[in-house]
Amino acid sequence: MAVSKQTTATERNFVAADFEKCTGCGVCELVCALEREKTFNPRCSRIKILRLYQLINMPVVCRLCEDAPCVVACPRDAMKQSEETGAILIDDEKCDCCGWCIEACPYGAIILHPEKETVIICDLCDGEPQCVEWCPEGALDLVTEKTFDKKVQKATVNKLIPETWR
């Protein structure tokens, strides 16, 4: 009997951003909306750019939590997590937009669809996220949680060291 290997959150790839490279251009939002909804409407995008005081552009996207709180919170079983990729899948027929999943998401990665009565969340474009492919600054990448944490740690240390020498 073959035993299937279930990946953990640290092994799953998710779309992550390099905040120092992101210019807030919005290409990722447009490409996502076109790929997943066939429209150039950034409100229909599964990736969102938070623009903070014209200083920081922070793309927000699903981090593929292990034991995803959004899936657990859904009272209608409209969400499930792919055992293979970790992507959160929405059953539009079951979703009634109650918002419990939105409240449960620690990253703010789930939004109400602006035209349909359902929620939307990054599904990794079936393994080939177009936002990563089309980002003109190369600010987006598919990484594991462990790799992302190391990059954030390195960037933080690189910023702190020059500050301590002033």
pLDDT in tens, 112-137: 999 999 999 999 998 899 999 999 99
**Statement: the pTM of the whole predicted model exceeds 0.85:** no
pLDDT at position 165:
59
Q: At a CB cut-off of 8 Å and minimum separation 6, what does 110 contact?
A: 62, 70, 101, 102, 119, 120, 121
Domain boundaries, the chain: 14-63+108-159
Q: Which of 127, 132, 95 is nearest to 111 (CA)?
A: 95
**Quick one: tokens of 27?**
């290409």
Positive or negative torsion for Cα 84, 9, 79, 48: negative
pLDDT at position 121:
96
- Output DSSP code: residue 21: T
**Regions of the chain short of the pLDDT cut 70:** 1-10, 159, 162-166
